[in-house]
Amino acid sequence: MYSFRRFVDVLAFLLLVSFGALAQSAGSSSNSPAQDQTQPQAPAATQSQQGPVTVQARIKARRDARRAQAIHDTYAHLYEVFVGGGYQRFLPGPDLQRNTMYSWDAAVTRYYSEKLGITFDGRGYYGTAYVGLNSTSLTRPAISHYDVLVGPTYRFRMRPKYSLAGSIKGGAAFGHFSGDTNGFGTAVLGLFPDGATYALEANFIGEVNVSPELSLRLAPEYMATGFGSSWQNDFGFTYGFVYRFGKQ
């Protein structure tokens, strides 16, 4: 009798353990579909976060492409013609004060890339020199000089609306200082003698684009000349219109 009761107790224990294992298995299997349903939502959240970034990147790429095309359309021309005027503070003689010179200026630039070109420049300067009291009745004779220059031009900043560039040129200057001396010559008035000499010029060029073919220019500059076998340092600027044509 005792053995039979013990057998019943063991059997009841085993049944309880079995039912517990089955219940645990059923609970885990019922939770797995819910977990499977939540897992696919993670990629959706990631896509929602990446979506706006992708749209912004595409907008920026299109904007950059339009900007690059505008720069190419403006600066890929083969030739550039400049026509304008200028201002210069010029030393007319070794012991005279500086006077104001006004000029015309015409230049042609042949570009070999969007940035680098060779410029041929011709200009004429006109002014009145103050020579002070002297043995003649002349105190303010008219003077002039003409320059022919050539050298490289380099654009170091290009934008659709404007550009910045620099140029260094060298050539010859032709002085005509005796034309208004009534035959007295330049020596008695303290002016440099007529003649040809070297000319060196460096400038900083700023341009504002009206269209891809047309722009407005302002260019402060430094010019060195050798009239009277001496070195003159003259400062001024040029201004005018630039027209571009031809394709590289």
Q: What percentage of the chain carries pLDDT values higher than 70? A: 79
Q: What pLDDT does residue 6 have?
A: 56
**β partners of residue 102:** 87, 126
Q: What pLDDT does residue 66 have?
A: 82
**Cα 157 to the center of its chain, rounded Å:** 1
Instruction: Give the DSSP per-residue string, 46-80.
Output: HHHHHHHHHHHHHHHHHHHHHHHHHHHHHH-EEEE
Residue 84 CB coordination number (10 Å): 19
Q: What's the rounded Cα separation, in Å, for the pair 248 and 194?
A: 42
Q: What pLDDT does residue 92 have?
A: 96
Q: What pLDDT does residue 124 have?
A: 98
Residues of the chain with pLDDT under 50: 1-4, 7-8, 15, 18-19, 21-23, 26, 28-40, 42-49
Closest CA to 220 of 230, 198, 209, 235: 235
Closest CA to 126 of 112, 109, 110, 143: 143
pTM, to two decimals: 0.74
Closest CA to 126 of 88, 152, 164: 88
**What are residue 201's phi and psi, to 5 degrees?**
-140, 140
Residues 89-128 have pLDDT tens digits of 999 999 999 999 999 999 999 999 999 999 999 999 999 9
Residues 149-179 have pLDDT tens digits of 999 999 999 999 999 999 999 999 999 999 9
Enter the DSSP assignment of 134: -
Q: What's the rounded Cα separation, in Å, for the pair 115 and 153?
A: 8
Q: What pLDDT does residue 47 have?
A: 47
**Cα 68 to the center of its chain, rounded Å:** 13
Q: What pLDDT does residue 5 have?
A: 55
Q: What pLDDT does residue 70 have?
A: 84
